[in-house]
Protein backbone atom coordinates (compact mmCIF):
# COMPACT_ATOMS: atom_id res chain seq x y z
CA UNK A 1 0.00 0.00 0.00
CA UNK A 2 1.40 3.38 -1.01
CA UNK A 3 0.87 6.40 1.19
CA UNK A 4 1.19 9.90 -0.13
CA UNK A 5 1.97 12.71 2.20
CA UNK A 6 0.24 16.03 1.74
CA UNK A 7 2.47 18.53 0.03
CA UNK A 8 3.23 21.68 1.90
CA UNK A 9 3.02 24.90 0.04
CA UNK A 10 5.72 27.43 0.63
CA UNK A 11 4.52 30.54 2.38
CA UNK A 12 4.06 33.47 0.02
CA UNK A 13 7.18 35.53 -0.37
CA UNK A 14 6.92 39.04 0.95
CA UNK A 15 7.80 41.86 -1.38
CA UNK A 16 11.34 43.13 -1.11
CA UNK A 17 11.83 46.79 -0.29
CA UNK A 18 12.97 48.93 -3.19
CA UNK A 19 16.71 48.89 -3.65
CA UNK A 20 16.80 52.69 -3.78
CA UNK A 21 14.44 55.62 -4.04
CA UNK A 22 14.91 59.09 -5.49
CA UNK A 23 13.74 62.23 -3.74
CA UNK A 24 11.84 64.82 -5.75
CA UNK A 25 15.01 66.94 -5.90
CA UNK A 26 17.18 64.06 -7.17
CA UNK A 27 14.62 63.07 -9.81
CA UNK A 28 14.29 66.67 -11.01
CA UNK A 29 18.08 67.14 -11.21
CA UNK A 30 18.56 63.84 -13.06
CA UNK A 31 15.84 64.76 -15.56
CA UNK A 32 17.69 68.02 -16.23
CA UNK A 33 21.05 66.27 -16.62
CA UNK A 34 19.60 63.55 -18.86
CA UNK A 35 17.96 66.21 -21.07
CA UNK A 36 21.16 68.23 -21.46
CA UNK A 37 24.73 66.99 -21.74
CA UNK A 38 24.14 63.43 -20.57
CA UNK A 39 21.37 62.63 -23.03
CA UNK A 40 21.35 58.91 -23.86
CA UNK A 41 23.51 58.01 -20.86
CA UNK A 42 22.61 56.77 -17.38
CA UNK A 43 23.97 57.52 -13.94
CA UNK A 44 25.65 54.46 -12.39
CA UNK A 45 25.98 54.31 -8.61
CA UNK A 46 28.62 52.12 -7.01
CA UNK A 47 30.45 51.86 -3.70
CA UNK A 48 34.23 51.91 -3.54
CA UNK A 49 36.88 51.90 -0.86
CA UNK A 50 38.01 55.38 0.08
CA UNK A 51 38.47 57.69 3.03
CA UNK A 52 38.85 57.16 6.73
CA UNK A 53 35.60 55.21 7.18
CA UNK A 54 36.33 52.79 4.34
CA UNK A 55 33.52 53.15 1.78
CA UNK A 56 32.34 55.94 -0.49
CA UNK A 57 29.59 56.50 -3.04
CA UNK A 58 30.82 56.71 -6.63
CA UNK A 59 28.78 58.21 -9.46
CA UNK A 60 29.69 57.67 -13.12
CA UNK A 61 27.98 58.24 -16.45
CA UNK A 62 27.64 55.09 -18.57
CA UNK A 63 26.12 54.26 -21.93
CA UNK A 64 24.53 50.98 -20.81
CA UNK A 65 24.21 48.78 -17.73
CA UNK A 66 26.96 46.25 -17.10
CA UNK A 67 26.35 42.54 -16.53
CA UNK A 68 24.42 42.07 -13.32
CA UNK A 69 23.76 45.78 -12.73
CA UNK A 70 20.38 46.65 -11.24
CA UNK A 71 18.18 49.24 -12.91
CA UNK A 72 16.25 51.40 -10.46
CA UNK A 73 13.27 53.27 -11.89
CA UNK A 74 11.63 55.83 -9.64
CA UNK A 75 9.57 58.91 -10.47
CA UNK A 76 10.04 58.24 -14.18
CA UNK A 77 13.85 58.37 -13.89
CA UNK A 78 16.28 55.49 -14.20
CA UNK A 79 19.65 54.98 -12.52
CA UNK A 80 21.91 51.97 -12.50
CA UNK A 81 23.25 50.36 -9.32
CA UNK A 82 26.39 48.26 -9.46
CA UNK A 83 25.53 44.73 -8.32
CA UNK A 84 28.38 44.77 -5.79
CA UNK A 85 26.90 47.90 -4.19
CA UNK A 86 23.36 46.50 -3.87
CA UNK A 87 23.79 45.11 -0.37
CA UNK A 88 25.17 48.43 0.87
CA UNK A 89 22.36 50.48 -0.68
CA UNK A 90 19.13 48.63 0.18
CA UNK A 91 16.61 51.20 1.36
CA UNK A 92 18.75 54.23 0.47
CA UNK A 93 17.16 57.52 -0.59
CA UNK A 94 19.17 59.62 -3.03
CA UNK A 95 18.60 63.38 -2.80
CA UNK A 96 19.96 66.48 -4.52
CA UNK A 97 20.78 69.51 -2.41
CA UNK A 98 21.92 73.00 -3.33
CA UNK A 99 23.65 75.27 -0.82
CA UNK A 100 25.42 78.61 -1.35
CA UNK A 101 28.85 76.92 -1.37
CA UNK A 102 28.13 73.50 -2.87
CA UNK A 103 25.56 71.34 -4.56
CA UNK A 104 25.34 67.64 -5.22
CA UNK A 105 23.69 64.32 -4.66
CA UNK A 106 23.42 63.03 -1.10
CA UNK A 107 22.49 59.63 0.25
CA UNK A 108 20.35 58.78 3.26
CA UNK A 109 21.38 55.18 3.83
CA UNK A 110 19.80 53.15 6.68
CA UNK A 111 22.70 50.67 6.47
CA UNK A 112 25.35 53.21 7.46
CA UNK A 113 26.75 52.75 10.94
CA UNK A 114 28.90 55.87 10.81
CA UNK A 115 30.57 58.52 8.65
CA UNK A 116 33.90 60.25 8.72
CA UNK A 117 34.03 63.87 9.87
CA UNK A 118 34.24 65.36 6.39
CA UNK A 119 31.38 63.21 5.06
CA UNK A 120 33.41 61.67 2.24
CA UNK A 121 33.16 58.08 3.45
CA UNK A 122 31.00 55.78 5.55
CA UNK A 123 31.00 52.30 7.06
CA UNK A 124 28.33 49.64 7.49
3-class SS string, 30-63: HHHHHHCCCCCCEEEEEEEEECCCEEEEEEEEEC
Average of per-residue pLDDT across 62-74:
92
User: Does the pLDDT of residue 59 top 70, yes or no?
Assistant: yes
Q: What domains can you pick out in the chain, each with its CATH number?
A: 20-123 (2.60.300.12)
pTM over 0.85: no
Residue-level pLDDT at 123:
60
User: Does the pLDDT of residue 72 top 80, yes or no?
Assistant: yes
Amino acid sequence: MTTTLPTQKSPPRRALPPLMRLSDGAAERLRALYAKGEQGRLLRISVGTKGCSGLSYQLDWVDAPGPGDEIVADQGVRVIVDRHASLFLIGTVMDYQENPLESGFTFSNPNEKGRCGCGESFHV
